[in-house]
A = this chain, B = another copy of it.
Amino acid sequence: MQIEVYPTCDSVKDLSGKTAIVIDVLRATSVITTALFNGAERVIPVPSVDEALNLAREFKGNALLGGERGAVKIPGFDLGNSPLEYKKELMAGKAVILTTSNGTRAIKASESAEHILIGCFLNASAVAEKALRFALSSETSCVALVCAGTLGEFSLDDAACAGLIVDSLVRNIERKKEPPELSDLAFACRELYLKHQDDLKALISHAAHYKKLLNLGFERDIDYCLQQDVIDCVPVYDKKL
């Protein structure tokens, strides 16, 4: 069993046969997990605003448009990229079309994988368990954690979340007595998480993206997204749709 971590969308290589977990803690994968947990029928990630608007026309008004550019809501869209907006009363039975700067790109970058799961702090244990089941039943037996990063750069929040998921995978695998092989970055992310697990907010406060979100008034989003294992829903990205 191999566990590897990619630091940004651009660093992702061929993931054929592997189980990918896409991570964009602040905030795309936290939004997707929350929306589905709160009853959305599906979330469709698309790379561009144009594609989002075209797809919304196909849905003839029966889908909600969500997303951000520069961390703020796109003009004319129903929702921004704050998970707190994706409430039960809005989501029930709805399709959501989502476009964000980093997260939706990371999902597209992972399309060569056999399975693509959506991970964040909110569902970390659940996504690790599901990934392990998929990986153990596949030929390559490899979990690839794909961090979205921020505008092409390594991001502390995604790396810490990858570290938590690596730790959860390792502990699950050890129970099965099959020692996993960690890539150098998987090892480093786990170390980062273990060192700071008791005060993740203090760690994340050193992230460039944290400072940007704080300045824009999104502190409640950050507090929400740093909660661990409060959701057991694991979104699966379906390439065929």
Contact = CB atoms under 8 A, between A and B. Distances in A.
A71 interface: no
B185 A154 contact: yes
B207 A154 contact: no
Given A159-B188, A188-B156, A183 B208 contact: yes
Interface string A117-154: 00000000000000000000000000000000010111
10 contacts: A7-B154, A7-B185, A13-B152, A153-B184, A156-B188, A159-B188, A182-B206, A184-B208, A188-B188, A192-B192
Nearest to A204: B184
Contacts of A7: 7, 11, 154, 185
Interface residues of A, number: 26
Interface of A: 7-8, 10-11, 13, 150, 152-156, 159, 182-185, 187-188, 191-192, 195-196, 206-209
Contacts of A183: 153-154, 208
A15 to B, nearest CB: 14
B185 A192 contact: no
B195 A191 contact: yes
Contacts of A207: 184
